[in-house]
Amino acid sequence: MSNDMQEFKELLAEVADLNGAIAVLGWDQQTYMPTGGAETRGEQLGTLAKLSHDKLTHPRVGELAAKLAAHGFADPDSDDARLVKVVLRDYEKAKKVTSAWVSEYAQVTTIAQDAWVAARHESNFSKFQPHLEKVIAMRQEYAEFFKPYDHIYDPLLDDFEPGLKTSEVQQIFAVLREEQVKLIRAIAARPQVDNSFLKTYYDIEKQKAFGMEVIKLFGYNFNMGRQDLAAHPFSTTFGYGDVRITTRFLDDDGASGLFSSMHESGHAMYEQGISEKLRRSSLFTGASMAIHESQSRMWENLVGRSRDFWTFFYPKFQAAFPSQLGNVSLETFYKGINRVQPSLIRVEADEATYNLHVMLRLEIEIALLEGSIKVQDLPAYWNSKMQEYLGVTPKNDAQGVLQDVHWSSGYVGYFPTYALGNLVSVQLWEKIQEQMPDLSSQIRAGQFGELLGWLRTNIHQHGCKYEPQEMVMKVSGSRITPEPYIRYLKKKYSEIYGL
C-alpha cells in the first residue's frame, strides 16, 4: 500500500504544480499584464488547464484511488484517508467534463476578464455582453455534464461549496432575508449616524502604510506573500510559502481600502495556515468558499469593525490623518464605519445590507442559467432588482451590473458563499468567545496571536480534509444556520442605533 500511496501522491503533486502555475498567470493578468496580452494568456491558460484536467482524470489516478479506498485506513480522519476520499470525489466529477471544454473555458474567461476591465472602465455593458453570453452558455453546458440534477445551479454551486444544494441555500436565505429586512426598516426609522468624515480626501500612500501595519499585526506573513493592486481585490495561492493578496484604494474614502486589505488578508492567512504536510496535494486548499469567506469576513467585520479593534488602532489612524479625524471621537468613528445605508456597491456595503446584495446575485444567476432572462437585458433587470431589494438604482453600468469581476472569471455559483461565510463567521466567533473569554481585552490591546492560533488549530491546518458542513459541525456543533448571525446583527445595531 505504501508504494501505491507514494505513486498516488506523486501524480497529484503534478496536478498541484500545474494549478499553481495557472494561479501565477491569473494573478499576473489582474495585476501587471498589459491589456494586449489577453488572447495569448488565454491560450496559455487553456493549455495548462487541459494538462491539469488530463492528469487529474488519468485512469491511473482513478485506479489508485479506488484501490487505496478499498484497502481502507485504520484512521478514517488521517491525512491519507481524507486525501483519497477527496480525490475520488474530484476525479469522478472531473471525468464528466471534457478536456476540450476545460481548455476552451480557460480561454473564454481569460478574454472575458480583460473585456470586463475595459467595459467597467468605460461603464459600457455592451462591450462585455458578448463575452458574458459565452460564459453563461458555457456554464449551462457545464451543468449538462452532471445531469440528472435537482437544479441546474447545483453543479455550479458544488464547485465552490461541495455537497450543498441550491434548495438548501434558498431556505437559509429566505429566513435571513426576512430578518434582515426587518432590521433595516427598524434602523431606517432611527436618526442616521454620521460618516461624512470618511468621505473626504485620504492620501493613498498613507492608507497603504496603515493597512500594511494592520494586516501584519493580524498575522499575515509577508515572507510568504505580498500585496499588490487590482481592479477588484482578490487573494491567490501559488503553493506553500506563496500566498498573495491584492487590494484597491480610493482617495475619497478613508475606509474602503483598509477593509479590503483586512478581508483579503483573512483569506490569505487561511491558506498560509494550511499544514505543510498537505503541500502539493489536493488537500492544500480551503474546505470551501463559505469557510474561506468566514475567515475574510471575520477579520474584516467581527474584528475590523469592532469597537475593541478601534480602541487600539484609532489613535494611530487619527495620527495618520489628523485633518480628517482630529476632531472625530472614537465613538463617532465607530458608528460611522458601521453606518447602515442601502448602497450600490456590494464590497462597500454595511453588514446589515450586504447579504441582500448576495441574494440579488443568486437570483440573477439562476435566472440566467434557466434562461428566464437574457444577458442583453441584464442591466435593466439588475437595476430593477436593486430597487426592489435595496431601494436604490445605479446611475450607470459600472455602479451596477459591471461592478463584480466574478462573472468574467466564470465564477457563476460563487456569490452565495459570501453570505454563507458571514453566517459561519459568527458561528465560529461564538465558539471562540466561549473558549477565549478574554478575547475582547486581547483585541483592545492589539494582540491577535491567540485568535489566529485558534483558527490555525481548528480551521486552517486541515485544508480541505473535511467537507464544509462537516467542519462547521465539528467546530460549532451545528450545520450552517442563520440564527447566530441574526443575533449578532440585532445586538450590534440595536446598540448603535438605539433600537
Cell triple for residue 179? 430578518
Which of these, 299, 305, 298, lies nearest to 428 by C-alpha position?
298
Strands 235-239 and 227-229: unpaired
Count of C-beta atoms within a 10 Å radius of residue 221: 15
| Residue corresponding to grid cell 466567533 | 429
Type of residue numbered 61: V
Copy the grid coordinates of residue 373: 432572462
Looking only at the bridges linking them, the beta strands covering 242-247 and 227-229 are parallel
Q: What residues are paired with 245 via a beta bridge?
A: 227, 235
Q: How many CB atoms lie within 10 A of CB 46?
A: 20
160, 409 Cβ separation under 8 angstroms: no
Say how far apart CA 262 and CA 303 lie, in whole Å.
Answer: 9
- Catalytic one among 104, 161, 168, 264? 264
Structural Rg of the chain based on CA atoms? 22
Specify whether 39 is catalytic. no
What DSSP line would sit under 306-333, residue for residue?
SHHHHHHHHHHHHHHSHHHHTT--HHHH
- Residues catalogued as catalytic: 264
